[in-house]
Amino acid sequence: MAITGKLYGQFLRHALLKEVQLLTDNLAVTLHQVGYVPDQDNHEYVSSLTSECPATGGYTTGGQNLASKTLTYTAATNKITLNGATVSWASSTITARVVVVSDRTPATAAVQPLILYQLSDVDIVSSGGPFDVQWNAAGLVEVTIS
């Protein structure tokens, strides 16, 4: 199984325009089935998302909020890192292929910016157990300033 993580192309523009406040806004983590194919360049808002996992088997439509968000800068490596807590759906029966993090603070899906996604090359399945989204040890996002 291979998992690829990427920022959505418009995310940094939204952040620089102060449309996304990473530490104070409500960042949601949602799960999507194989029918959703992320488009890094053309998907900009939550309204572009499709094939969210159904609200059955322990999953709730709209996903979960990302907790324990941190934003750090490491001068030795010139890296800015966004991190957050593991997201878990306990006692769930879920089949997903894509994890999306988006800003749900704006009022409607048409203006809620997409931040990042993680795409698996195979379905990830929980069957009556936990479905955990564990972020890379380096964090959700790591940007090198050069």
Q: What is d(CA 142, CA 146) in angstroms, rounded to the nearest whole number?
A: 13
Read off φ and ψ for residue 66, nearest 5 degrees.
Answer: -80, 120
Q: Residue 144 corresponds to which tokens in the numbers above?
A: 């090198």
- Domain holding 112, by residue range, is 3-144
Q: What is d(CA 130, CA 42) in angstroms, rounded to the nearest whole number?
A: 32
**83 Cβ neighbours under 8 A, 6+ residues apart:** 68, 69, 70, 71, 72, 135, 139, 140
pLDDT tier at 77, thresholds 50, 70, 90:
very high
Chain segment 84-138, per-residue pLDDT in tens: 999 999 999 999 999 999 999 999 999 999 999 999 999 999 999 999 998 988 8
Average pLDDT of the residues in 44-54 = 98
Chain segment 28-44, per-residue pLDDT in tens: 999 999 999 999 999 99
